[in-house]
């Protein structure tokens, strides 16, 4: 049996995590969640996700901090999920592959995940 695509979701709001976990599971993904940036970095190593959805505004370790620590060692695709207004250029400069603004449409999030995974599998 083929392994499901594994998505790591990092957000310090349990309600958002639950919402995203349900949507992605119904869309056929294996979902790993955490509310901690530190734990997210450990999970990248231990669980080998295919993509990460990362909240930007978390404490004590922000999404910025997670990206800064992740990028030197991992090309893992990252979609920022944030309430902050953003441009695609800013997200790319931070090391993310894309971003989704909160609130978001669940189907839009799934489409972004699929597009990024498709573009990464072409180069793999």
Answer yes or no: are the C-beta atoms of 86 and 98 closer than 8 Å. Answer: no
By mean pLDDT, which of 17-21, 50-54, 85-89, 92-96 is the weakest? 85-89
Residues contacting 104, CB < 8 A, separation 6+: 81
pTM greater than 0.85: yes
Per-residue burial over 52-71, b = 16 or more CB atoms within 10 Å of its CB, e = otherwise: bbbbbebeebbbbebbebbe
Return the domain boundaries, the chain. 6-123
What would the pLDDT profile of 55-73 be if each residue is shown by its tens digit?
A: 988 889 989 899 999 999 9
pLDDT cut 90: percent of the chain above it = 68
CATH architecture of the domain with residue range 6-123:
3-Layer(aba) Sandwich (3.40)
């Amino acid at each position: 049996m083929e392994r499901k695509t594994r998505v790591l979701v990092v957000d310090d709001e349990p309600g958002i995590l639950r919402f995203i976990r349900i949507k992605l599971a119904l869309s056929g993904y294996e979902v790993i969640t955490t509310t901690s940036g530190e734990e997210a970095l450990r999970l990248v190593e231990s669980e080998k996700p295919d993509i990460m959805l990362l909240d930007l505004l978390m404490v004590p370790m922000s999404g910025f901090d997670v990206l800064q620590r992740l990028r030197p060692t991992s090309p893992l695709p990252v979609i920022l999920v944030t309430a902050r207004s953003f441009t695609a250029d800013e997200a790319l400069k931070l090391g993310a592959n894309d971003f989704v603004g909160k609130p978001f449409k669940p189907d839009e999030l799934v489409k972004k995940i699929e597009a990024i995974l498709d573009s990464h599998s072409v180069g793999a």
